[in-house]
Amino acid sequence: MDVPALIARARLDGLNLGQLFRAGLGSADAQFMVGSSYSSKKDRKVAVAWYRMAAAQGHADAQTAIGRCYSRGEGVARDPVEAVEWFRKAAEQGRATAQYNLGVSYANGEGVKKDPVKAARWYRKAAEQGHAAAEKALTRLD
């Protein structure tokens, strides 16, 4: 979908006009928020379209969201390799959830070769930011 079509659809769906205006002008934060609105409405294909626009600008939360969509097959075909690529982009920007998800990928061999050492490294980075699930995952690795 192109941006004008996405905006027209969002207006029909009753999304915040100010947010849509900012998203249409290229605000990555607004694009992520519109994507999140669609995700909560269970329209993941449209959510992914908005997330992609934000992610292309380096928005780490949008990159994490796209990774989640690929890992679960929500709005896109399930693709663990693609999920890892998106999680890595966000993880390298310091997003704890993406770091945790990357750790899960390495721990389970989803989209990457199973590697407990790399899993622990990514879990540790997330745990250092207080990510509870990463802290728990680290104890299971030991």
Confidence of residue 14 (pLDDT cuts 50, 70, 90): low
17-42 per-position pLDDT tens digit: 788 778 888 999 999 999 998 887 77
Question: Contact 9/36 with Cβ under 8 angstroms?
Answer: no
Please tell me the predicted confidence (pLDDT) of residue 123: 97
- CATH architecture, range 83-142: Alpha Horseshoe (1.25)
- Tell whether the model's pLDDT for residue 45 goes beyond 70: yes
pLDDT of 59 higher than 80: yes
Q: How far is CA 70 from CA 1, 12, 32, 86, in A?
A: 18, 27, 16, 9
Q: pLDDT (tens digit, 9 = 90+) per residue, 85-132? A: 999 999 999 999 999 999 999 999 999 999 999 999 999 999 999 999
- Spell out the long-range contacts of 36-44 with Cβ–Cβ below 8 A and sequence spacing 24 or more: 36/65, 37/10, 38/10, 38/13, 39/65, 41/13, 43/75, 44/69, 44/74, 44/75, 44/76
Task: Calculate mean pLDDT across residues 55-60.
Answer: 97
Report the C-alpha gap between 54 and 64 in whole angstroms: 11
Per-residue pLDDT at 37: 86
What is the pLDDT at residue 53?
94
* CA dist., res. 9 & res. 3, Å (int): 10
